[in-house]
Amino acid sequence: MHIAIIGNGIAGATAARHIRKLSNFSITLISAETDYFFSRTALMYVYMGHMKFDQTQPYENDFWKKNNIALKKGYVTQISHQNKTLHFAEGETMQYDKLILATGSVSNKFGWPGQNLKGVMGMYSKQDLDMLEACTPNTKSAVVVGGGLIGIELAEMLHSRNIGVTMLVREKSFWDLVLPAGESNMINRHIASHNINLKLEEELKEIIADDEGRVKAVITSKGDTIPCEVVGLTVGVSPNIAFLKNGDVATDRGILVNRYLETNISDIYAIGDCAQQHEAIGKRRAVEAVWYTGRMMGETVAQTICGVRTAYKPGHWFNSAKFLDIEYQTYGWVSAQPTENENHFHWKHPKHNLCITLAYEKQSRKFLGINTLGIRMKHAFFDDALTKGLLVDDVIANLGASNFDPEFFKTYEREIQTLFLNTKMPVS
Amino acid sequence: MSQNTGDIHTSMQLVHSSNQQHIKQKIAVAVGLTGLFILVLALLNADLPNRGFWLFAALGFIMAGTVLYANFLYLHKPAGVQMNGIWHKSLTGRGILGWAAGICITSLYVFLYWFPQYLGYNAGGNNTGLVALFDPLSIVLNGKPATQWFLYGTLYTVAILSFGYKFILKYRHSKYQVIRTCSVMFFQLGFAFLIPEIISKLNPDQPYFTRDIKNMWPLNHYFFEDWNLKGMLGGGNIGMFMLLFGLAMIFLISPVLTYFYGKRWYCSWVCGCGGLAETAGDGFRHLSDKSKAAWKFERISIHTVLVFVFVATVAVIYSFLGNDPALSIISRNLFIYGIVIFISVLVGALYFFKRKNLDKDAVYTMVSLGISMVLIILMNFFFGASNIFFTEGGTLMQWYGFAIGAVFSGVIGVGFYPIMGSRVWCRFGCPMAAILGLQQRLFSRFRITTNGGQCISCGNCSNACEMGIDVRAYAQKGENIVRSSCVGCGICSAVCPRGVLKLENGSETGRINGNTALLGNDVDLLEMIKKQH
């Protein structure tokens, strides 16, 4: 049995490792991006000089050979599922018995004039990093388009090299489609404190070139011209499925899969960023471009391939990020705007960049989720609270047990509990 | 177009303010270098009048330069992780400046240990050169002219204090780091530097013996050497105190503290070697080798040193017992068999209680202790006091002092900071670290816990680990990190962008956990994956 896996990111690499743990199948991990699995989330730290690229690789290079996982560098252009053959851009072919598609994402481009000029790039792949490195030795100023997680990371990267950064963000406030107002405002102020020019409610209209076809400036939706040598397009990512366009594997935005991560073609599976659930799971998105969901889909598909057909059933939603110096964690669901039956309780430190928002059901007072900025909290605590369906009052009362900050850090449970008890929340 | 100029203005402002910071930083570096230059002048035997003034100026400039540099480097930025460019910079990225600094520090150690006369030390008469510059301070503190070791101790303390200040600013967002660094600075200034000097001054007629009570055996390998033992025995109340406290440190205080807090109580809160590594060496922490091969080498090398120091110490005491019947409380046979029984009971008990989760590190330490025991028995059977392993009793310790005490801990340990990272000695050579590490792994409440499924395998933790532990390998599996070598500096936790790592003392149950499934999946799959492994 030969398992071919296209894509050596977290989803593909995890699938390969778990199939190896469970079977003696021969496994080939295919990538056109890099020789070895690396942590995409760490690319920013390479540019900022915190780490070297080889340190982003979680396993030593001989790990794959030791575990008998073959690595193949190549770009698959076509899948002939009738005779189970992969065709590579280099002209080679490869037979498979089962195929896992874990091709990840590509950066979105929305057809802006000038979006393919020299100096315009996304920030997703190793190639993007190399291009950014090649483009920025003498850059004085840059424009980052988009106010999401990658946008703020790219802004931080450029800023670390003393490049003046302007961020163009469509929304009224940073990431306010996800973050409630209190958190979003705190991030706005924090971005400004780093001398990054955050322009809200302003979008990209056009990128202008100089005589050599390099970026010279951008024109914004408000008609402003911002001179810059580099433009980062970080307006989200989409599944990387261009190579499937003329094939039989059913796609929509991503590769369509059922709960077992099976595509419409037998023996072809899709996992990670490139997979799209026919029906979204709970409040999760149908396409989830998140590190840990890639990992979990890899673990799940390995079970199925090794004989225990297993549905992908992610547990309670959680995530984390870092906005410059402010760490963000979330467990369960906190809506950006409280929905009809949802109340929010917000606590904010008067001086420091620390705040939390708890969401709970108005009538039943059931705990729905929590966002924290600047305070580390325990995943296990909230996972348990959500599984047990605890009331918000119980969560607040036991908040001390949720803290995961380092020793000697000041804790704020008292203040939070006091404010909670003194706040008369409307009960409808 | 109205805001156009505003944008240019902002980015110009940024560039302008960063230029300003660069100029300020350069001035600070110049101030520090001026201090160093005075030291160089003294080294070249420039005849400086009023040495006290110039010494004060030199040390003052060095400290002021470092403090100013730290202020200009960190205070205009919001508190947070400050790792930008560490791999790009020549000094901290193994560039030319790094190699140059390595060679300079290495040379300083070579002169200190073997050619102090070139630094101006003159045992018989008046000091000259650099050592003479330190005479005034030495006379104030201990009443005698300086030695090369006084010079070294002073510079060492100055380095820990100035770079400690820089470290505190750099990690000011982490209270753990601030408190820990204050502790390191306090122990260096008080216990390693001032108190021993002042004790000497108050007791001018006492022979030299160790007076730094935090510097315990086997890190302090000469604790049981006959001159030190005699010094302490003949050193009145202070000598007796040092002897008894030294023994209490080894057999009582250290095991108890290590049980409750892990070896960090010593290695990253108290120890002088650790103190320098954590402060002056902080900028080089990422240079430690994280490979599995390095880990293998570490196990072999640190345990070899452990056997060496143990056998050498026993040999020294053995000769002492033979040569000084008057000071010998017990006979040689009694001593040897006491040691043999002690080790047997220790290893036996370790094995009995921990046989189910013995890892390689623990096995290595136990085997080392076993080898030491065999060597000691051989010594007692086949050699006399004057001929131990075909040499004199004290010679073994002299070799140890040369190979390990001088070459390893000094020349390589500190001299190679810019090449191999700041904890080369602590990781590969310190026998104290080996013993504390064994206890930390097997009998301690300390561990680094991980936070469910939040790890993104970015590798910042492994990069920042000065002991070369691949922290990520554990974090991405949701496993606690319970490693012999971990000194508990806490930087992995400080640099983690997702709040995954936490240093904790807690119940021993479930401390060493082999999770292969991370929180986040639904419960069925979690259970299934756990069962399959």
Contact B11 A45 (CB under 8 A): no
CA dist A103 and A274 (Å) reads: 6
CA dist A39 and A46 (Å) reads: 11
Could you read off the pLDDT of A4-51 as tens digits, one per residue? 999 999 999 999 999 999 999 999 999 999 999 999 999 999 999 999
Residue B438 near residue B365 (C-beta atoms within 8 A): yes
To the nearest whole Å, the CA of B520 is away from the closest chain A CA by 5
Report pTM. 0.94
The predicted structure's pLDDT at residue B388: 66
H or E element that contains B445: none
The stretch B324-335 carries a mean pLDDT of 76
The residue with tokens 């290590």 is B258
Could you read off the pLDDT of B131-183 as tens digits, one per residue? 999 999 999 999 899 999 999 999 999 999 999 999 999 999 999 999 999 99
Q: How wide is the angle at C-alpha B331 spanned by C-alphas B326 and B333, nearest 5°?
A: 155
Contacts of A376 in chain B (CB under 8 A): 451, 499, 502
Q: DSSP state, B407?
A: I
**Amino acid identity of B486?**
C
Structure tokens at A59: 């396993």
A110 touches chain B (CB under 8 A): no
Residue B251 near residue B197 (C-beta atoms within 8 A): no
A90 touches chain B (CB under 8 A): no
How many angstroms separate the most distant Cα atoms in chain A? Answer: 70
CA dist B414 and B421 (Å) reads: 9
Burial of A21 from C-beta contacts in 10 A (0-12 / 13-18 / 19+): middle
pLDDT band at residue B3 under the 50/70/90 scheme: very low
CA dist A273 and A293 (Å) reads: 8
Q: How wide is the angle at C-alpha B243 spanned by C-alphas B242 and B247, nearest 5°?
A: 110
Closest residue, chain B, to A330 (C-alpha): B454
Of A190, A300, A325, the CB nearest to B525: A300
B376 touches chain A (CB under 8 A): no
Q: How wide is the angle at C-alpha B472 spanned by C-alphas B471 and B474, nearest 5°?
A: 75
Q: Cα separations (Å) of B264 from B185, B213, B315? A: 15, 17, 30
CA dist B78 and A36 (Å) reads: 36
Nearest partner of A260 among A230, A223, A220, A301, judged by Cα = A301
To the nearest whole Å, the CA of B409 is away from the closest chain A CA by 27
Tally A–B CB contacts below 8 A.
Answer: 203
pLDDT greater than 60 at residue B516: no
B423 versus B201: the higher-pLDDT residue is B423
pLDDT greater than 90 at residue A370: yes
A222 touches chain B (CB under 8 A): yes
The residue with tokens 């008998």 is A68
CA dist A133 and A154 (Å) reads: 12
pLDDT greater than 90 at residue B311: no
CA dist B271 and A314 (Å) reads: 47
Structure tokens at A271: 């996992």
* DSSP of B459-489: -HHHHH-TT---HHHHHTTT--B--TT----
Q: DSSP state, B117?
A: G
Which residues are CB-contacts of B361 (< 8 A; sequence separation ≥ 6)?
B299, B437, B438, B441, B483, B484, B485
To the nearest whole Å, the CA of B434 is away from the closest chain A CA by 25
Q: Across A258-304, where does the E strand assignment appear?
A: 268-270, 275-277
A377 touches chain B (CB under 8 A): yes
B510 touches chain A (CB under 8 A): no
Return contacts of B362-368, CB within 8 angstroms, 24+ apart: B362/B438, B362/B441, B362/B442, B362/B484, B364/B299, B364/B300, B364/B303, B365/B303, B365/B306, B365/B434, B365/B435, B365/B437, B365/B438, B365/B484, B366/B438, B367/B303, B368/B303, B368/B304, B368/B306, B368/B307, B368/B310, B368/B434
A333 touches chain B (CB under 8 A): no
The CB density around residue A138, as the number of other CB atoms within 10 Å, is 7
pLDDT band at residue A428 under the 50/70/90 scheme: very low
Structure tokens at A83: 């005779």
Nearest partner of A37 among A272, A255, A319, judged by Cα = A272
A291 touches chain B (CB under 8 A): yes
The residue with tokens 């790792």 is B83
Of A52, A226, A406, the CB nearest to B174: A406
Mean pLDDT of chain B: 88
CA dist B373 and B367 (Å) reads: 10
Could you read off the pLDDT of A270-290 as tens digits, one per residue? 999 999 999 999 999 999 999
H or E element that contains A144: strand A141-145
To the nearest whole Å, the CA of B75 is away from the closest chain A CA by 13
CA dist A428 and B32 (Å) reads: 67
CA within 13 Å, CB half, A208: 12
Contacts of B286 in chain A (CB under 8 A): 51
Contact B83 A292 (CB under 8 A): no
Q: DSSP state, A168?
A: E
Nearest partner of B4 among A209, A121, A293, A227, judged by Cα = A227
Structure tokens at A47: 């540019």
Closest residue, chain B, to A294 (C-alpha): B456
A363 touches chain B (CB under 8 A): no
CA dist A240 and A238 (Å) reads: 6
Q: How wide is the angle at C-alpha B485 spanned by C-alphas B479 and B486, nearest 5°?
A: 60
CA dist B409 and B403 (Å) reads: 9
Structure tokens at A24: 């003696």
CA dist B335 and B321 (Å) reads: 9
Q: Cα separations (Å) of A408 from B113, B174, B378, B505? A: 41, 9, 51, 13
The CB density around residue A137, as the number of other CB atoms within 10 Å, is 7
Predicted interface score ipTM higher than 0.90 = yes
Tell me which of B522, B527, B530 to substitute to probe the interface with A (most A C-beta atoms closer than 10 Å).
B522
A164 touches chain B (CB under 8 A): yes
Could you read off the pLDDT of B452-466 as tens digits, one per residue? 899 999 999 999 999
Closest residue, chain B, to A37 (C-alpha): B457
Contact A376 B451 (CB under 8 A): yes
Burial of A413 from C-beta contacts in 10 A (0-12 / 13-18 / 19+): middle
B502 touches chain A (CB under 8 A): yes
The CB density around residue B297, as the number of other CB atoms within 10 Å, is 14
- Give the gyration radius of chain A's Cα atoms: 23
Q: Name residue A4's beta-bridge partners.
A: A28, A99
* DSSP of A25-62: -EEEEEESS-SS---GGGHHHHHTTSS-GGGG-SS-TT
Contacts of B9 in chain A (CB under 8 A): none
Contacts of B7 in chain A (CB under 8 A): 166, 197, 224, 226-227
Q: For every residue of B222-253, which 3-state class applies, written as one string?
A: HHHCHHHHHHHHCCHHHHHHHHHHHHHHHHHH
Contact B502 A404 (CB under 8 A): yes
Contacts of B519 in chain A (CB under 8 A): 315, 379-380, 383
Tell me which of B457, B469, B530 to substitute to probe the interface with A (most A C-beta atoms closer than 10 Å).
B457
Contact B472 A292 (CB under 8 A): no
pLDDT band at residue B310 under the 50/70/90 scheme: confident
Residue A202 near residue A168 (C-beta atoms within 8 A): yes
Structure tokens at A141: 């100023």
The stretch A253-280 carries a mean pLDDT of 97
The predicted structure's pLDDT at residue B124: 83
Contact B521 A314 (CB under 8 A): yes
The predicted structure's pLDDT at residue B138: 94
Contacts of A321 in chain B (CB under 8 A): 498
Structural domains of chain A, with CATH: 2-106+238-305 (3.50.50.60), 120-235 (3.50.50.60), 318-422 (3.30.390.30)
Q: Side by side, which strands form the sheet with A26-31? A: A69-73, A26-31, A2-6, A98-101, A268-270
The pairing of strands B446-450 and B501-505 is antiparallel
A51 touches chain B (CB under 8 A): yes
Which residues are CB-contacts of B437 (< 8 A; sequence separation ≥ 6)?
B263, B302, B361, B365, B483, B484, B485
The stretch B406-429 carries a mean pLDDT of 91
Contacts of A329 in chain B (CB under 8 A): 454, 498-499
Most confident of A260-269, B138-147, B433-442: A260-269
CA dist A37 and A29 (Å) reads: 9
Structural domains of chain B, with CATH: 16-77+115-205 (no CATH), 207-443 (no CATH), 445-532 (3.30.70.20)
Burial of B128 from C-beta contacts in 10 A (0-12 / 13-18 / 19+): middle
The predicted structure's pLDDT at residue B4: 44
The predicted structure's pLDDT at residue B222: 86
Contact A327 B4 (CB under 8 A): no
* DSSP of B352-406: HHHGGG--HHHHHHHHHHHHHHHHHHHHHHH--SS-BTTB-HHHHHHHHIIIIII
In this structure, of A33-37, A64-68, A123-127, B367-371, the range with the lowest mean pLDDT score is: B367-371
Nearest partner of A241 among A226, A225, A256, judged by Cα = A256
Residue B322 near residue B332 (C-beta atoms within 8 A): yes
Contacts of B93 in chain A (CB under 8 A): 49
The predicted structure's pLDDT at residue A426: 54
